[in-house]
Structure 1
Amino acid sequence: MIKKALTVLLLALACIKGYSQSEFTPEWNFGVNFGPTFSTMSFVTTAPGFELNTKMLQQYKGGVSVRYITENRLGFIAELNYSQQGYEQKFEGETNSKYIHELAYLQIPFLTHIYFGRKGRVFVNLGPQISFLLADRKIKHLLNTDYNDDKVSAQYDLEVQNKFDYGLVAGMGFELRTGAGNFTIEGRYYMGFSDIYKSHKTDPFSRSANRVMSAAITYYMKPF
């Protein structure tokens, strides 16, 4: 009888221990992030034979993050960022001409956070993002203003016409969890679905969408 009782007790203790190891406590994190952006613009012109080529423009972004890990390997992130974006025009064979259009956005991504590991974690972030234009600035240094038929000049006189931007964010990174807080390093790609200029048939562009690669270091802390 005693042996049976001890066996039942040991089995019960084993079950409790296994349950405690698998039990998960939800976790809130608040953080700050900062890093570089590498942005360009996807242009499609409405006139056949006209092209507008751009190259990467390197700037910066930073902001605050809220992360809620709801269960093992799964959580959600919301951020409020100030992001510098835009594009630089690529001039074929004209090394002295320059045209840069800098854009500044208030950026709000809502991301699903999937991770693997414990103290050292590999993670993937994916979700939608909305942005509101705060400012734009043009830098012009054009030596040749008499453009041929294979060049586009409409962008020089156009202000941003759509100040609301939306698209999809995908990111991947690594997190190190320490007693002083959690540190992450992440690379992201943003594909904008909206256009900064009007895109009717009578307009010069049928496509003018943001494309942004970025990297950031984020410091997370548990508020309670």
Structure 2
Amino acid sequence: MNHLKTLLIILIFGSFSVFAQRTKIELGIEGGPSIAFMQVRNNPSFNYYNPRIIGSGAFAFEYHFSNLISLRSALGYEVKGYQRPYQIYANGTDLGIATTYFQFDYVTLPILIRLNFGKKIRFFLNAGPYMSYLTAKKAHISEYEQYSGSALSGSVRDYNRFDFGFSGGLGIGIPINENWSVSLEARNNFGLLPLKTDNDGKIFTNSSNLLAGINYRLKPTDPERKSRLNKNSFSQENRITLGIEGGPNISTFLENKPYINNDQSNSAIQAEFSGSAGLTFQWNSRKHFSLRTGVTFQQNEYSFTTGSSSNVTLIGSYGKGTHRFDYLTLPVLARFTYGQKAHFFFNVGLYAGIPTRQTEKIEGTAYSPYSGGSTSPYVHTSNYVPDYNHTIDFGAVGGIGIGIPVMNHWEFSVEMRDNLGLVNVLAENYYKRTMRTNTLSVLIGVSYKLGFRDK
């Protein structure tokens, strides 16, 4: 029954979940080079997809059921792809064959059963399924830079964004001291869902990874120490905190110059309200210092006026539009806390935002001289926003807030936080425009502390 409860918690909180029996929990990071290639399994004679050497990295979590069996997961960023010959033409001239490099960026979550052998130096075997989500695609021709870009092989929408498959590997773990260890593993991810189906056949992903890792095993609970602590106080003696948080936000995108419509009118953007919600994990390292992370679904939105729309076949149109961007955001924060019961805190750190969806909506009036100068209302919606990258957003995070204990181990918090983007979200264009995200959020949270520190 205890094992069933543990599995449910792990599935809910993914690679950041923890369980009260802290001697069984191990956290870490892993990453390294990989050989990625594509397979056309229903057309073995088609062999134009040659392997590429790329890489991957992840935050790892492991729960030890016993010395022999453990459950391991990792939320990570994995790059897959291939290289193949490509015929280049320019202005009707055949420039010859060049090597084209294709790259597919994934967020990957494996769920693995690990078998461990040995006492100090331990050998292990991993096996289990993995799930991946495609966030971006790039194409590059080294010999002809001017022909590189997303247009070479279509957008992300042309591919299956979800990948699922089997993961297996073997490796070795070497202890450094009582809590720290390093590991080295060879792992293969074998895709079972086609990335794309075209005239060549069904294309599947496959990658072989060499993963170097460093891991920390949490210290055991001290029952005597636990009994001496006042369970009604919400002190930092508790090491691990799990929670949920969410609330409204306002997005003020920062641009270096406004976009000019076809009628030469200014299309300056205006901030709009959206929202965010997510799961949180906090490691309370010291009385006044913690490390905090989590997984958050965040929406950024702005509005604009338009003198015309390239997406609607109209003569002389004007109206108001909105662009909305959905992100899966991973912040990594240092939290400083002051106070005993009701306490104040401030966060500072970095975040990475993975785009999952874009939405464009334009409402307005169209004027057509071909129908006697009549006007008519129109509404245009699309799941694609032109001129925007499908790449990961990255930036700095800062916030201040207050935490109030509600009951034994539970806390209510309110925080004001700002995510300042450092990456240009616009694709390259002739106008040299840049735009960066900036989101101010009010986050209301509920959290629960597990266990007690062992001095």
Q: TM-score range by the shorter chain?
A: 0.7 to 0.9
Q: Does 1:140 align with 2:362?
A: yes
Q: Which moved more, 1:116-125 or 1:42-51?
A: 42-51
User: C-alpha distance in 2, partners of 1:112/1:84?
Assistant: 23
Aligned partner of 1:127 among 344, 349, 355: 349
The reply to whether residue 117 of structure 1 matches residue 345 of structure 2 is: no
Asked whether 1:39 is paired with 2:267, we answer no
Aligned residues: 189
| Residues 50/206 of structure 1: CA separation in 2 closer, same or farther (3 Å cut) | farther
Stretch deviating more after TM superposition (214-223 or 42-51): 42-51
Counterparts of 1:144-159 in structure 2, within 5 Å, are 158-159=386-387
Distance in 2 separating the partners of 1:109 and 1:97: 36
Higher RCO (C-alpha under 8 Å, 6+ residues apart): 1
Q: Does 1:166 align with 2:378?
A: no
- How far apart are residue 27 of structure 1 and its match? 1.7
Q: Distance in 1 between matches of 2:243 and 2:396?
A: 22
Identity %: 17
Letter in 2 for 1:32: I
CA shift for structure 1 position 139: 0.9
1:179 aligns with 2:407: yes
Q: Which residue of 1 aligns with 2:300?
A: 85
Corresponding residue number in structure 2 for 1:204: 431
Aligned partners of 2:302, 2:286: CA distance in 1, in Å?
Answer: 40
C-alpha distance in structure 2 between counterparts of 1:68 and 1:75, whole Å: 6
Instruction: Verify the 8 A CA contact 1:45 1:52 in the aligned structure 2.
Output: no
Instruction: Give the unaligned 5+ runs of structure 2.
Output: 1-228, 230-235, 307-317, 368-383
Residue among 49, 71, 75 paired with 2:290? 75
Contact 1:26–1:70, Cα closer than 8 Å, also in 2? no
Amino acid in structure 2 at the alignment position of 1:39: S
**Contact 1:124/1:170 (<8 A) preserved:** yes
Please give the alpha-carbon distance, in whole angstroms, between the structure 1 residues aligned to 2:259 and 2:271.
24
Structure 2 equivalent of residue 100 of structure 1: 322
Q: Distance in 1 between matches of 2:242 and 2:349?
A: 19
Q: Return closer, same or farther for 1:213/1:144 CA change in 2, 3 Å cut-off.
A: farther
Partner of 2:418: 189
How big is each residue's C-alpha offset from its partner over 1:36-66, in whole Å with a ceiling of 9 and x where there is no partner? 1111211224999995422221111100000
Query: Is the deviation greater in 106-115 or in 158-167?
Result: 158-167
1:25 aligns with: 237
Is the CA contact 1:40–1:88 (under 8 Å) kept in the aligned structure 2?
Answer: no
The verdict on how the C-alpha distance between 1:218 and 1:61 changes in structure 2, with shifts beyond 3 A counting, is: same
Mapped partners of 2:352, 2:325: distance in 1: 15
Q: CA RMSD in A?
A: 3.0
1:215 to 439, 442, 448: 442
Distance 2:283 2:259 in 1: 48
Amino acid at match of 2:325: L
Secondary structure of the equivalent of 1:134? strand
Contact 1:170 1:188 in 2 (8 A): yes
CA contact (8 A) 2:387 2:427 kept: no
Runs of 4+ displaced beyond 6 Å: 46-50
